[in-house]
Structure 1
Amino acid sequence: MSKNFEIRKAVVLEATPEQVWRAIATPEGQAAWSPDPYQAKDGMEVEATENERLVVRTPKAENGAFHAFEYLVAADDDSTTSLTFVHSGYLGDDWEAEFDFGEMSGYGWDMYLHTLAEYLKHFAGRPANFVTAQGPPSSATPNSWATLEKALGVEGPFEQGQNLRLTPQGLPALEGVVDFAYPAFVNFLALRTDDGLYRFHDNSAMGMPQAVGHYIYAAIDRQATEQAWLDWLERVFS
């Protein structure tokens, strides 16, 4: 399996180039949709042409691994903007994982770019908080997804446009619509509510625990909310 990779995606967004640029190029915007908006940017190489092109490259690790993220922004008309996204790089001399990194990451970017589109369409201009939590190591098994669904009071597979009510014990119930769905073989739940985009991830195919990654467009105590979801995952898989 090749250690070099390139993932290329294109989306049309209901926003101006200026709105798209704010979402991809500022910390406040990245908190609304990206996978790791609070990651330190120390050592990153950045090339930027405002409202047109952004490239971010990570430093090269000792094993040769690096990642590059390129965003190309182009206005279509007064109401839509095209975004081309390219994630490329090298996984390192010692990469030996059994899963296909490009395929799995490609599924991830489909979801994150859809989240960007949903944010710009439904929540643009509102404050954004990214809340993430990971379950204990015991939740890294294939049957753990069924346990998580049961704890939410639902059972998949889920279809885009489906109305759902989630009831995580000890947390407020969540009511909304399934805004994104993967192929049936990928376990994932995405719910759009009045105040956010809530995401539940089955990472067991990569040998990793179940996880949540929520984008909440309201004034909240982010750390306390993150701790509440972490505690919930611990209870579910205790």
Structure 2
Amino acid sequence: MTNSFEIRKDVDLPVSPEQVWHAVATPEGQAGWSPDPYMESEDLDIVEERPSRFVVRTPEDAHGAFHAFEYQIQPLDEGSRLTFIHSGDLGNDWQSDFDYAEITGYGWNLYMHTLKQYLTYFAGRPAVYVAAQAPDHANTHQAWQQLEQALGLPDGSAQFTVGDEIRLEPSGLSVIEGIIDYVEPGEDFLAVRSQDGLYRFHSLERIGMPVALGHYRYGAALQPLDEEQRKTEEQAWQAWLQNVFA
């Protein structure tokens, strides 16, 4: 028995193929949009055909599971078209109550959008990724509502749509002012674009995991961001989540 899958996404980007290549094929570029920009590259099978094709394949495990991520980049009259393909097999021991390709496809919708936001509004600026996760028990819709309250949204986040201005006030952290840049109808999710970053808050209830966040922070052009500063900010968000759900 196999659990093979393929997820395909197309996105037009307002930059050259070389700039798209840098974003998808280098650690510096991946930090500006990728779900796991600091993933270890050891044991990965990598194919590079700059600037038109980049492929990463994980090793196959004992149950036949593996993942492949392919980026095909084509020039357009203005900008570039990226075709992204996530394929593989979940292995003969995979069992779950949710459709992996469906749920993961929703996630890639967000990340392709985030890539476009990055290259549209923050191209050329150094980036870091800040992530944190709530305690395990914060894996319900009620937990999401608790997060909304803690962000200063007493009426919730579902009232907002793309382009709406928003202000988040997490206690003990900096105020975030920006606009809603993405929505996923029916999902507990909040995405905000500010002048210095893309802020993403997720409910992962559907896959049995707690509330989490993954923010992309951008520095001034040509001025690298300090890794210690990134770690400090990540620790601050982690402590905030721990306090919200204590």
**Bin of the TM-score, shorter chain as denominator length:** over 0.9
User: Match of 1:202?
Assistant: 203
User: Within the alignment, does 1:229 sit opposite 2:224 as a pair?
Assistant: no
Residue 85 of structure 2 aligns to a residue whose secondary structure is strand
Q: Which residue in the other structure is 1:166 paired with? A: 168
Which consecutive residues of structure 2, in runs of 5 or more, have no partner in the other structure?
Answer: 220-224
Distance 1:68 1:180, change over 3 A: same
Residue 46 of structure 1 aligns to a residue in which SS? strand
How far off its partner does 1:143 sit?
1.6
Flag as ranges the 4+ runs of structure 1 deviating above 3 A: none
1:141 Cα deviation from its structure 2 partner: 2.1
Match of 1:146 in 2: 145
CA shift digits 1:149-172 (9 cap, x unpaired): 111112121311111000011100
Q: Comparing 2-11 with 101-110, which one deviates more in the overlay? A: 2-11
1:45–1:159: structure 2 CA closer, same or farther, 3 Å change rule? same
1:94 equivalent to 2:102? Answer no
Report if aligned partners of 2:5, 2:88 keep a CA contact under 8 Å in 1: yes
- In structure 1, the residue matched to 2:113 is 114
The aligned residue for residue 26 of structure 2 is 26
Secondary structure at the residue paired with 1:140?
Answer: coil
Conserved 8 A contact 1:142-1:205: no
User: What TM-score results when the alignment is normalised by the length of structure 2?
Assistant: 0.94
Alignment partner of 1:175 is 2:177: yes
Q: CA shift at 1:95, angstroms?
A: 0.8
Confirm or deny: 8 A CA contact 2:2 2:92 kept in the other structure: no
Tell me the percent identity: 51
Equivalent-residue separation in structure 2 for 1:93 and 1:2 (angstroms):
5
Paired amino acid for 1:170: G
Q: C-alpha separation between the residues in 2 aligned to 1:135 and 1:115?
A: 22
Task: Provide the rounded CA distance (Å) in 2 between the counterparts of 1:97 and 1:149.
Answer: 29
The CA distance in 2 between the partners of 1:192 and 1:2, in whole Å, is 40
Where in structure 1 are there 5+ consecutive unaligned residues?
Answer: none
Superposition pairs of residues 126-145 of structure 1, within 5 angstroms: 126-145=125-144
Q: Is the 8 A contact 1:13 1:120 kept in 2?
A: yes
Contact 1:161 1:179 in 2 (8 A): yes
Q: Structure 1 counterpart of 2:203, which letter? A: D
Looking at structure 1, the residues matched to 61 and 175 of structure 2 have their Cα atoms a distance apart, in angstroms, of 43
Q: Tell me the CA shift for residue 190 of structure 1.
A: 0.4
Instruction: Find the aligned partners of 1:15 and 1:2 in 2 and give their Cα distance.
Output: 39
C-alpha distance in structure 2 between counterparts of 1:25 and 1:99, whole Å: 30
After superposition, the Cα gap between the structure-2 partners of 1:62 and 1:93, relative to the gap in structure 1 and judged at 3 Å, is: same
RMSD: 1.2
1:126-151 Cα deviation digits (max 9, x unpaired) = 11000000110111123211111111
What does residue 192 of structure 1 align with? 193
1:34 and 1:120 map into 2 onto residues whose CA distance is: 12
C-alpha contact (below 8 Å) 1:163/1:176 kept by paired residues: yes
Q: State the 1:93 CA deviation.
A: 1.3
